[in-house]
Structure 1
Amino acid sequence: MAVELRPGVWQVALRGVNAYLVEDDAGLALVDTGLPWQADSVRRALEVAGFSMRDVERVLLTHYDVDHVGGLRSLLSSAGDVEVCCGAGDAELVVGNRKPPLSVPKGVSQRLAGLLTPSVHTPVRALGDGDEVGGFEVVATPGHTPGHVAYYHEGLDAAFLGDLVRADDGELELSPWLLSSDTSQLPGSVRRVLNRAPAFAAACVGHGDPIRSGGRAALARVVQ
């Protein structure tokens, strides 16, 4: 299901996780891809919004987790010439060149979920803090995973936060310990987004209902 949050931004509400469609002057972007068996739901959401995977110029991954990258391989099979981007710390996991570490609970769960996460055979652009891709600015936000990134789009007044935070009853909260690689990094990552993004209305989260207005203020309350 595709829900237009604001002009140029659609929420793809999947079961238990969100992906997003973003249209700007640089073309159409898909932010995250859902679970492996949700790829067809993403395709249907694209159709509802008036697009198809052939229209997608780039796929922006917030991080490596099965519910955010699982549908990627299937979706790429019906796409055209698409650029795939991910934070540098997670990019090699997406292509299968490296496995998650077993030294933290997060890595163990990623290893297990990796049995359901098909790696891709297309190049993945490794993004660093401050990089630009299309109309987005990349903000490094480690903590949930080492290579987690957020994407800030000033022109569309939106920030795509992945699992840096999750929404619950209209408020945002940090990713919990069991699901994170290093929770001590999360407050600093939130502050990095706040410092880089002076204003944004929509806080587009991976889990829970996205906040359509007052998103930056809601994120600031997390670390106040």
Structure 2
Amino acid sequence: MEVYFVKGMSNSYITSDGVLIDAGVKLNDVVKVAEQHGIKIRYLFITHYHVDHIRYAADIAKALGCAVVAPELDSDVVEGRSRPPGGLAGLLHSLMRVKPVKADVKVKDGDEVEGYRALAAPGHTPGSTAYVKEGAMFSGDAVLSSNGRPVLPPKRYNFDQHRAEESFRKLLDLKPKVIYPGHGTPIKFMP
């Protein structure tokens, strides 16, 4: 599986098997990268409900006709039935007027979609989820990168700091070959 980077409000990734991970990037940028590599986007996987990861989800899903996969515990916010809990996340969500998007598939820990296994990684948000396939982990903001090294997101952005720390350790203990984080450069581990 090949992975292509798309820079937006956060990192988004397009895989050679037609999956877009996170939607903090404009539709035109997604289309440009997908066309460059001859990829048809069939799925949009959302890692969590923060605005920098879902801002353009509704536009992308509508224009590309792709199925939206979202964490079950974050789906009320993704689908517009509730606002994000907490001050800054809720404020940004309102100010940026995030359009709701229907989650066609709501995943829980261990669920698989197109060979990608969902791993619950709560803490950053209640439903933060990483997706793993073929040794590649798409961590959203459960694991970030600083100079290619894994780091936790800043405390002020975490819904539950203790759970964020537990999830961080859990994901690293899985020893993926590479982690594609929501912010920062990919984290590659030696075999």
- 1:184: which partner in 2? 162
Q: Tell me the distance in 2 between the aligned counterparts of 1:110 and 1:21.
A: 26
- 2:180: which partner in 1? 204
1:194 shift after superposition: 4.1
- 2:189: which partner in 1? 214
Q: Deviations over 1:172-209 (max 9, x none)?
A: 111111111011112221233245x3x42211001011
- 2:51: which partner in 1? 66
Q: Which runs of 5+ in 2 are unaligned?
A: none
- 1:21: which partner in 2? 14
Residue 141 of structure 2 is aligned with which of 163, 172, 176?
163
- Matched to 1:78, the amino acid is A
Q: Deviations over 1:2-60 (max 9, x none)?
A: xxxxx42112123x521011234xxx11100115xx23222222222223xxx222111
Q: How do residues 17-56 of structure 1 correspond to structure 2 at under 5 angstroms? A: 17-24=10-17, 28-35=18-25, 38-51=26-39, 55-56=40-41
Percent of aligned positions with the same letter in both sequences?
31
With normalisation by structure 1, the TM-score equals: 0.78
- 1:119: which partner in 2? 100
Q: Deviations over 1:74-102 (max 9, x none)?
A: 1122112x22111111111111112222x
- Matched to 2:179, the amino acid is A
Q: Tell me the distance in 2 between the aligned counterparts of 1:41 and 1:190.
A: 30
Structure 2 SS opposite 1:150: strand
Structure 2 SS opposite 1:56: coil
Answer yes or no: is 1:151 the counterpart of 2:131: yes
> In terms of Rg, which structure is larger?
1
Contact kept, 8 Å, 2:44 with 2:61, in 1: the verdict is no
1:165 shift after superposition: 1.9
- Matched to 2:63, the amino acid is S
- Matched to 2:21, the amino acid is V
Contact kept, 8 Å, 1:95 with 1:124, in 2: the verdict is no
Residue 131 of structure 1 is aligned with which of 101, 111, 117?
111
Contact kept, 8 Å, 2:34 with 2:41, in 1: the verdict is no
- 1:109: which partner in 2? 88
Q: Which runs of 5+ in 1 are unaligned?
A: 1-6, 102-106, 218-224
With normalisation by structure 2, the TM-score equals: 0.90
- Matched to 1:33, the amino acid is A
Answer yes or no: is 1:99 the counterpart of 2:80: no
Contact kept, 8 Å, 2:61 with 2:68, in 1: the verdict is no
